[in-house]
Each structure stands twice: as structure tokens, then as C-alpha cells.
């Protein structure tokens, strides 16, 4: 294992740097040194055209002389960029003896500092090091960051630097200031990014500072869909909110992988409720949300799948609305979509299904209120949530209303998770198949012509489980 390098950003303004070598590589490094305000002396028999111009403009000092250790006197850094290994080594050794940090081009061993790959946005710099061992990798990372980091970042940094003293004076408390910053950036960053409006952004900043007493202690709630459990299926907005939350109030269905993305010091509250005391539990959840938001915290109410699909998200928002609490909603990938995708069941298909219904067959009562005639129609897909316990009556009713006994189903347990199981069959033997395979919650039933496609289109996890082919009768010996 190589020891990691110590990252540092050096202030080289008016500081002497000796560069030995005057070719193209030296020229690139010298340009960077000049940009940082260094006083550069170059030792070389000949200069690259770029360096000739710089020398003519007196931006660098050039000498055509052999290297001697005394030339390092007064230098803070040295760069050896000749194409002669022996000269480079001589510079490195002399520099070491004088405690001058030295970079030898393409020689990590001889170097006591490296020049990282850098992404620059004004004064904002992201420097990447592979410890000197894999510069190609660092370069690749740099390319990615070039794409990811918006051009306006530099302007934003300047603006914040300009107002830094004022902001600190107005909001001395650090954690409050951090929250204020997050909100501010959400507000002004798009303005800068999309329209480059520096004055608007600055006025927004000053307004936000003035509005401080009202905003600073005001908590908020974001109702966020966590998707089916795989963190890769979160939205970017959900991720951002998890990173900012003070308190995360989550259900049992939310996976550990998702919770692991929460801010380190966020408080995690599991309010997963057992069936039975649901009404009570819901009141308790309301009380918890209210308590934290009124204490000025940023609360993320995190729900499995999508919060508005059988998630009681609506009730929670009505409660918050009645108490005048501001909120936002972030959709998530609901179980029907996740299970369908990961089981290889297209929910609609030009030949097999023109509509999709999301239903729940949870409580006994809820089955009575459903429009079974409509649900039994052909060429449509039913995605049945919370249905494991009610498969028997479901079959009875669908058959009674005319759905064909050979309508295919896919029953997906732990959809989109590593332990996913997919049970295939037809409506005729649905409850028996579920029992035989011991399907447990959480499981989603997809019923309709499209379900048969899973036999060909499955691609994730274990193979789908098909009904066993009856054994041919064998003669008893
Ligand atoms: N709001 C959630 C649904 C909550 S109801 C959503 O949009 O997905 C809970 C039911 O969702 C479970 O009983 C099950 O039917 C279904 N479900 C949730 N996650 C699931 C998963 N990973 N695999 C299969 N079914 C799931």
C-alpha cells in the first residue's frame, strides 16, 4: 500500500519557483504557476515558443546555464522537466537536501510533490490525485467532473466570498448558518446557472439575510418517496434531501441501503407500524412530525415506493396543512413500476394490455368496495398491493366477474431487491401457488396477459418460479 499524499493548496504569490527544462511539458506547468502568481525562473538551453513569448514579456526569467544546487537558493518549489534522467535526478537530490519541494516530471519516486489533475471554476478548484500511481485514472475523473460541475460555480464562490463577513456577522451560529446556506443556494444557484444573473442572486442573498428572524427557526417537511429499496432507484432530489435532513421519519419498508445515505448526524426514527394498531400509529406519526418541525428542524418523511400510492402520504399532508406547516413532495418509484421492471413484465403492451390499475386488496372491507366487473376486464393489467393475505377471495371475485381462469399472474416478493422472488402461474391456481412457494410480504401481484412475458423477459435475480409440470404416471415395479 502506498501512503496517501497530503493534499494542500499553496499560496505562491510572489514566491520563487525554479523550473529546469524549457520544453512543452515545462511550458504547461509554468502557465499554471504564473496563474497562481509565482515568480518563475527557467533554466534551459532553449525555450518552447510559449516560453519565449513569456520571457520576452518579462513574465518569466530565463537563463541558459547548467544546473547548480545554489540556483535553488530562495526557491519554494522546484520542477525538473528536462528529458534527461540524470539532470532530473540531480535537481531532485539538491532540492531534497535544501528542503525545497520538488516535482520531477513523470517520476513519482523522485518527486516530493505532484501536480494534481484540476477542474477549475474561478477560485473553486477540485484537485484529483491518484497518489502519483495512476494519472490516467485521475484524468478520467477530471473529465467527468468537468461535465458535472456547472460553470457558474466560480461566480457563486465570488459572490459568497464578497458577502462572507456580513453573513457571519448576521448568523453567528454555525449549524443555523449551514441551514441558511443550503436554502440560499437552492434559491440562487439556479438563477446563476440558468441565467447568469449575478445581481439578482446577490439581491436574493441580501434579502434572505434581512428575512432572517422569520426564516431561521422555521422547520419544514419533505414527503419523500424512497422507491423499492435499491438506493440506485432514488431520485437525485430525494438524495439531496436525505443529505440535508435533521430528522428522517421512515417506514419499515425503507431499505437500509437508502437510510445509509442520510446525513451522518441525522436522527432516524422508525415509525413502521404493525397492522392492527394502524389508526393509533398514524396519529403518533402526525404528532412526531409536528413536534420536530415546530422545533425548527428539517424533517424528511420517507416512505417506501411513492408516498402518494397506498402510502397515506395524503393524510399526513392534510394534517400538516391544517397546522400551517410548509411541505414539499418528492415522488418515488412505486412498487408496481419497480416490480414490473425487475421481473420483466411490461405493464402495458400493444397486444396484451391497454390499461393499468393500481389496487389494494388489503382489508376485507376494501375488497367489497372495488368495482369487480371493471377489474375483471380483459386486456388490462392489475397491480395489486398488500394482497398476499387476500388472494383467495380475489380469485373468487375475478372469476365470478368473468376473468378467464388461465389469465397469467406474476407474484413478486421483495421486488428490485437482491432477494427478489417471482412466482408465475395462472389465476386458476393463484392462492395455491403463493402458498406452495411460501410468498411473504412485501409482495406485489401483477395479474393480466402481460404477466406471461416474465418467462422470457426476466433478467434480474433468481429465475422465475413456474408451476411444477405434473409427473407422468409411472408403473409401479
Ligand atoms: N407506497 C408504497 C406502497 C405501500 S403499501 C409504494 O408506492 O410502493 C405496501 C405494499 O407495497 C406491500 O404490501 C407490497 O404489496 C408493495 N411493495 C412495496 N415494496 C415492495 C417490494 N419491494 N416488492 C414487492 N412489493 C412491494
Active site residue 53: no
Shared domain for 341 and 453, answered yes or no, is yes
424, 455 in Cβ contact below 8 A?
yes
Distance 156 CA to ligand 1 centre (A): 42
The per-residue pLDDT of the chain, averaged, comes to 90
Q: Which of 171, 231, 163 is nearest to 198 (CA)?
A: 163
**Does residue 182 carry a catalytic annotation?**
no
Q: Are 349 and 303 found together in one domain? A: no
In a domain, residue 289? The reply is: yes
One domain for residues 274 and 361: no
Q: Which residue has the cell 402510502?
A: 311
Percent of the chain with pLDDT over 70: 92
Q: Is 304 in the pocket of ligand 1 (CB under 6 A)?
A: yes
Has residue 41 been placed in a domain? yes
| Residue-wise DSSP of 444-466 | EEEESGGGGGHHHH--SSSPPBP
Between 325 and 27, name the one with better pLDDT.
Answer: 27
C-alpha span between 417 and 419 (Å, rounded): 5
Q: Which of 235-239, 312-316, 359-363, 446-450 has the highest mean pLDDT?
A: 446-450
pLDDT for position 17: 98
The answer to whether residue 403 is domain-embedded is yes
With respect to residue 310, please indicate whether it lies within any of the assigned structural domains.
yes
Q: Does some domain include residue 8?
A: no
Could you tell me the pLDDT band of residue 351, with boundaries at 50, 70 and 90?
Answer: very high
Instruction: Give the whole-angstrom CA distance, residue 444 versus residue 411.
Output: 6
Ligand 1 closest atom vs CA 416: 22
- Whether residue 10 lies inside any domain: the answer is no
How would you class 127 by CB atoms within 10 Å of its CB: exposed for 0-12, middle for 13-18, buried for 19 or more? middle
Q: Please indicate, yes or no, whether residues 164 and 276 belong to a single structural domain of this protein.
A: no
Number of Cβ atoms within 10 Å of the Cβ of 446? 25
- What is residue 273's predicted lDDT score, i.e. its pLDDT? 62
User: Nearest-CA neighbor of 19 among 54, 130, 10?
Assistant: 54
Distance from the CA of 384 to the center of ligand 1, in angstroms?
Answer: 9
How much is the pTM?
0.65
Do 290 and 341 belong together in one domain? Answer: no
Q: What is the mean pLDDT of residues 213-226?
A: 71
Q: Please say whether the beta carbons of 376 and 193 come within 8 A.
A: no
Q: Are 11 and 76 in contact (CB under 8 A)?
A: no
List the residue whose alpha carbon is closest to atom 9 of ligand 1. Answer: 386
Check whether residue 224 and residue 183 sit in a common domain.
no
Among residues 330, 352, 369, the one where a domain terminates is 330
Residue-wise pLDDT tens digits, 132-153: 778 889 889 998 888 777 778 8
pLDDT at residue 29 above 90?
yes
Is 203 strand, coil or helix?
A: helix
Shared domain for 350 and 430, answered yes or no, is yes
> Would you give the distance in Å from CA 476 to the centre of its chain?
63
Tell me which of 115, 136, 160 is where a domain ends. Answer: 115
Please tell me whether residues 49 and 96 are part of one structural domain. Answer: yes
Per-position DSSP letters for 121-159, written without gaps between them:
ETTEEEEE--TTS-HHHHHHHHHHHHHHS-TTHHHHHHH
CATH code of the domain in which 102 resides: 3.40.50.720
Q: How much is the average pLDDT of 150-179?
A: 89
Query: 393 lies in which domain range?
Result: 336-457
For the cut 80, the answer to whether the pLDDT of residue 363 exceeds it is: no
What is the pLDDT at residue 277?
A: 63
Statement: residue 107 has pLDDT above 80: yes
Distance between CA 75 and CA 95 in Å, rounded?
A: 9
Q: Which runs of E-coded beta strand occur in 304-365?
A: 327-330, 355-360
CA-nearest residue for atom 13, ligand 1, is: 386
- Which residue has its alpha carbon closest to ligand 1 atom 18? 335
Angle at 424 between CA 460 and CA 428, to 5 degrees: 165
Q: Which of 187, 209, 231 is the last residue of a domain?
A: 209
* 224 and 272 part of one domain: yes
Pocket test for ligand 1, best of 313, 413, 442 (most atoms within 8 A of CB): 442
pLDDT digits (tens, 9 = 90+) for 185-205: 876 775 565 556 788 788 878
pLDDT at res. 457: 97
168 part of a folded domain: yes
Q: Is the pLDDT of residue 214 over 50?
A: no
Task: Kindly tell me if the per-residue pLDDT of 62 is higher than 90.
Answer: yes
Q: Are 321 and 346 in contact (CB under 8 A)?
A: no
Q: How many domains does the chain have?
A: 4
The reply to whether 340 and 444 lie within a common domain is yes
From residue 374, alpha-carbon distances to 355, 379, 382, 411 in Å are 11, 11, 11, 21
Q: How confident is the model at residue 215 (pLDDT cuts 50, 70, 90)?
A: very low
C-beta of residue 105 within 8 angstroms of C-beta of residue 80: yes
| Ligand 1 center from residue 59 Cα (angstroms) | 67
**Which residue from 297, 345, 335, 365 is spatially nearest to 442, judged by alpha carbons?**
335
Peptide bond into 40 cis (omega under 30): no
Q: Who contacts 406 (Cβ-Cβ below 8 Å, separation ≥6)? A: 426, 427, 428
Tell how far the Cα of 387 is from the centroid of ligand 1, in angstroms. 10
- Cell 421492471 belongs to residue: 341
- What pLDDT score does 216 carry? 44
Q: What is the CATH number of the domain that holds 401?
A: 3.30.950.10
For residue 442, pLDDT over 90 is answered with: yes
Confirm whether 266 is domain-assigned.
yes
Same domain, 352 and 291: no
Residue 336 Cα to ligand 1 middle (Å): 8
Cell 520544453 identifies what position?
23
- Other beta carbons within 10 Å of 348: 15
- Tell me which of 94-108, 172-186, 221-235 is least confident: 172-186
- Distance from chain centroid for Cα 319: 30
> What confidence score (pLDDT) does residue 367 get?
67
The alpha carbon of 28 is separated from its chain's Cα centroid by a whole number of angstroms, namely 35
Query: What is the enclosing helix (H) or strand (E) of 384?
Result: strand 380-385
pLDDT of residue 253: 82
CA 360 – CA 355 distance, rounded (Å)? 17
- Give the relative orientation of helices 174-190 and 198-210 as an angle to the nearest 10 degrees: 150
The residue with greater pLDDT, 469 or 333, is 333
pLDDT of residue 298: 85
Mean pLDDT of the 299-307 span: 96
Taking only the tens place, the pLDDT of each residue in 267-282 is: 999 998 655 566 678 8
**Ligand 1 pocket residue status of 255, Cβ below 6 Å:** no
End-to-end Cα spacing for the chain: 68
The answer, yes or no, to whether any atom of ligand 1 lies below 6 A from the CB of 443, is: yes
Cβ-count burial of 290 within 10 angstroms (0-12 exposed, 13-18 middle, 19+ buried)?
A: middle
Per-residue pLDDT, 330: 93
**410 and 354 both lie in a single domain:** yes
Average pLDDT of the residues in 376-385:
96
pLDDT category at 343 given cuts 50, 70, 90 is very high
3-state secondary structure of 408: strand
Amino acid at each position: 500500500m502506498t501512503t496517501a499524499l497530503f493534499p494542500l493548496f499553496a499560496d505562491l504569490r510572489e514566491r520563487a519557483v525554479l523550473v529546469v527544462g524549457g520544453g512543452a511539458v515545462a511550458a504547461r506547468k509554468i502557465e499554471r504557476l504564473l496563474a497562481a502568481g509565482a515568480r518563475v525562473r527557467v533554466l534551459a538551453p532553449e525555450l518552447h515558443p510559449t516560453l519565449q513569448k513569456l520571457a520576452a514579456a518579462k513574465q518569466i526569467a530565463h537563463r541558459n546555464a547548467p544546473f547548480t544546487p545554489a540556483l535553488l537558493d530562495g526557491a519554494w518549489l522546484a520542477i525538473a522537466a528536462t528529458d534527461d534522467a540524470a539532470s532530473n535526478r540531480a535537481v531532485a537530490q539538491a532540492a531534497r537536501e535544501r528542503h525545497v519541494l520538488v516535482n520531477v516530471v513523470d517520476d513519482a519516486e523522485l518527486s516530493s510533490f505532484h501536480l494534481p489533475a484540476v477542474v477549475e471554476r474561478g477560485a473553486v478548484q477540485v484537485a484529483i490525485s491518484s497518489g502519483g500511481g495512476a494519472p490516467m485514472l485521475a484524468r478520467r475523473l477530471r473529465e467527468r467532473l468537468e461535465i458535472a460541475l456547472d460553470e457558474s460555480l466560480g461566480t457563486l464562490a465570488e459572490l459568497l466570498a464578497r458577502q462572507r463577513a456580513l453573513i457571519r456577522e448576521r448568523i453567528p451560529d454555525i449549524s443555523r448558518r449551514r441551514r441558511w446556506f443550503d436554502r440560499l443556494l437552492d434559491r440562487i444557484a439556479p438563477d446563476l446557472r440558468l441565467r447568469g444573473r449575478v445581481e439578482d442572486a446577490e439581491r436574493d442573498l441580501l434579502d434572505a439575510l434581512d428575512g432572517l428572524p422569520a426564516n431561521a427557526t422555521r422547520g419544514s417537511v419533505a414527503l419523500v418517496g424512497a422507491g423499492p429499496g435499491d438506493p440506485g432507484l432514488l431520485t437525485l432530489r430525494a438524495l439531496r434531501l436525505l443529505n440535508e435532513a435533521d430528522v428522517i421519519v421512515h417506514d419499515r419498508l425503507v431499505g437500509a441501503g437508502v437510510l445509509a445515505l442520510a446525513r451522518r448526524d441525522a436522527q432516524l426514527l422508525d415509525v413502521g407500524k404493525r397492522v392492527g394498531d394502524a389508526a393509533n400509529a398514524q396519529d403518533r406519526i402526525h404528532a412526531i412530525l409536528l413536534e420536530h418541525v415546530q422545533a425548527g428542524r428539517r424533517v424528511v418523511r420517507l416512505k417506501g415506493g411513492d408516498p402518494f400510492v397506498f402510502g397515506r402520504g395524503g393524510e399526513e399532508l392534510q394534517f400538516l396543512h391544517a397546522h400551517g406547516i410548509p411541505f414539499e413532495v418528492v415522488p418515488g418509484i412505486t412498487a408496481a413500476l419497480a416490480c414490473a421492471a425487475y421481473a420483466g413484465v411490461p405493464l402495458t403492451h400493444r397486444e396484451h394490455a391497454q390499461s393499468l390499475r393500481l389496487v389494494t386488496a388489503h382489508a376485507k372491507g376494501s375488497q367489497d368496495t372495488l368495482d369487480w366487473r371493471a377489474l375483471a376486464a380483459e386486456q388490462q393489467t392489475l397491480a395489486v398491493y398488500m394482497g398476499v393475505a387476500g388472494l383467495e377471495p380475489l380469485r373468487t371475485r375475478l372469476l365470478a366477474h368473468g376473468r378467464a381462469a388461465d389469465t397469467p399472474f406474476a407474484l413478486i416478493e421483495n421486488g428490485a431487491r437482491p432477494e427478489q422472488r417471482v412466482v408465475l402461474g395462472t389465476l386458476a391456481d393463484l392462492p395455491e401457488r403463493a402458498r406452495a412457494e411460501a410468498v411473504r410480504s412485501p409482495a406485489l401481484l401483477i395479474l393480466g396477459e402481460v404477466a406471461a412475458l416474465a418467462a422470457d423477459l426476466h433478467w434480474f435475480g433468481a429465475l422465475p418460479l413456474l408451476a411444477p409440470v405434473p409427473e407422468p404416471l409411472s408403473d409401479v415395479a
